[in-house]
Amino acid sequence: MKYEYLLDWYDSNKRTLPWRNTKDPYMIWLSEIMLQQTQVSVVIPYYNKWIKTFPTIEKVAKADLDNLLKLWEGLGYYSRCRNFHKASQYVVTNYKGIIPRDYDLFIALPGVGEYIASAVMSIAYDQSYPAIDGNLKRVISRYLGLRKITKRNLFRIKKKLNTMIQINPGDINQALMDIGSSICKSTIAKCSICPLNITCKAASSLDATQYPEKKKKKSIPTKHFISGYISYDNYILITKRPSTGLLAGLWELPMVEYRNDSKLIDVLNDYTTKSLGCGVNIINKIGVVKHAYSHYKICITLFKCEPKNINVKNSQWIHLNEIDDFTFSKANHKLFNSIGIIND
Ligand code: SF4
């Protein structure tokens, strides 16, 4: 077959990753979810810990969401974790714990999109679906010499991939993923060691990285927050985020968004009095923490405060020793670090 050389290349060059050398669809699904928007080196310890704690989909389905979020803490994009929990429960309830082999049934599960469905169907079940993520789009657009990722060119990329995955689709998909992540990267193309170089159109150009044209990065807005490290006798006040939206269900130091021209101390006093019931006396400014999400950045100004009273609502006092029992966002861990009470 025409693309067998890719399989030979993959056999000798594939990355050693904990989710490779298994056909278990649960493990492959989990790895692909964790890998979305996240680097392999970051995912590996999370994946290993998760599989050790929850070796089967039944265990995930039965688990408390707070425990799953704790394991996910620091990996970001927490909706992936919540959706995986929901999807696992659906699979256990409706499919006796067997992950569907049918693409349409699988893609209907929460959090499963075209890429995840194709990756799992091809790697776990040997079905011919091209797993088209950003890496594969780049590799194949270079291979075909496509300048732009248009709708028409996406169709061409898919068509080409369909011809490539006729044998062992899981390994071909993974070979192309590995080429995309280690050889044919966004800013560098190591064509001399690439198994596709003989027939790749971009390889014969002056600069293969010009394919496809890069989109200009949009500038993203910054939102400003004020936060209070409110404490007494080694207890600190934390609040739980709403059950939907960004960082749903995670805990954080009390914080509220403000407009640039607001008087910060008034904003914090007002918020802690009206929403948390305690009110605060501000002791001093601790510092400013910045963090970036995909669509905006945040800038949090943190103040050390003492409560005017300890009867609170919509929030909870915890002892400093209990911090590890709760799940906090990365931005919140940065706040903890600025106070010097916990390390990432
Ligand atoms: S030959 Fe070069 S441009 Fe073509 S896919 Fe390989 S690394 Fe990318």
**161 C-alpha vs ligand 1 centroid, how far in Å?**
15
Q: What is the pLDDT of residue 344?
A: 42
Q: 311 near 277, Cβ under 8 Å?
A: yes
The sign of the CA dihedral 72, 73, 76, 80 is positive
Q: What is the pLDDT of residue 158?
A: 97
Q: What is the pLDDT of residue 28?
A: 98
Q: What is the pLDDT of residue 265?
A: 86
Q: Which of 32, 58, 73, 306 is catalytic?
A: 32
**DSSP letter string over 292-342?**
E-SS-EEEEEEEEEEES-S--SSSEEEEGGGGGGS-B-HHHHHHHHHHTS-
Q: 124 near 28, Cβ under 8 Å?
A: yes
Does an H or E element contain 287, and which?
strand 280-292
**185 C-alpha vs ligand 1 centroid, how far in Å?**
9
For a ligand 1 pocket test, name from 3, 5, 135, 139 the mutation site with the most ligand atoms within 8 angstroms of its C-beta. 139
Q: What is the dihedral of CA 80, 178, 121, 25, to 10 degrees?
A: -60
Average pLDDT over residues 253-271: 91
**DSSP letter string over 193-257?**
G-TTTTT-TGGGSS-GGGSSPPPPPPP--EEEEEEEEEEETTEEEEEEPPSSSTTTT-EES-EEE
Q: Whose CA is nearest to atom 1 of ligand 1?
A: 197
* Residue 197 CA, closest ligand 1 atom number: 1
* Residue 200 CA, closest ligand 1 atom number: 4
Write out pLDDT tens, residues 218-241.
889 999 999 999 999 999 999 999
The answer on pLDDT for 343 being more than 80 is no
Contacts with 102 (C-beta within 8 Å, 6 or more apart), sequence order? none
The answer on pLDDT for 15 being more than 90 is yes
Q: Whose CA is nearest to atom 8 of ligand 1?
A: 184
Question: Of residues 255 and 343, which shows the higher confidence score?
Answer: 255
For a ligand 1 pocket test, name from 200, 204, 205 the mutation site with the most ligand atoms within 8 angstroms of its C-beta. 200
Please state, for a pLDDT cut of 90, what percent of the chain lies above it. 92
Q: What is the pLDDT of residue 335?
A: 96
Would you call 32 a catalytic residue per the annotation? yes
Cα 298 to its chain centre, rounded Å, is: 18
**55 C-alpha vs ligand 1 centroid, how far in Å?**
38
Q: What is the pLDDT of residue 271?
A: 96
**141 C-alpha vs ligand 1 centroid, how far in Å?**
10
Please give the mean pLDDT across all residues of the chain: 95
Average pLDDT over residues 33-39: 96
Pocket of ligand 1 from Cβ distances under 6 Å: 139, 142-143, 183-184, 189-191, 194, 196-197, 200, 202-203, 208
Q: 304 near 286, Cβ under 8 Å?
A: yes
Q: Which domains does the chain have, with CATH numbers?
A: 4-210 (1.10.340.30), 222-339 (3.90.79.10)
Q: In one letter, which amino acid is 283?
A: I
Question: pTM value?
Answer: 0.89
The answer on pLDDT for 129 being more than 90 is yes
* Residue 183 CA, closest ligand 1 atom number: 7
Q: What is the pLDDT of residue 89?
A: 98
Write out pLDDT tens, residues 277-313.
999 999 999 999 999 998 999 999 999 999 999 999 9
**192 C-alpha vs ligand 1 centroid, how far in Å?**
8
Write out pLDDT tens, residues 131-156.
999 999 999 999 999 999 999 999 99
**206 C-alpha vs ligand 1 centroid, how far in Å?**
12
For a ligand 1 pocket test, name from 157, 179, 192, 197 the mutation site with the most ligand atoms within 8 angstroms of its C-beta. 197
With bands split at pLDDT 50, 70 and 90, how would you rate the model's confidence at 342? low
With bands split at pLDDT 50, 70 and 90, how would you rate the model's confidence at 180? very high
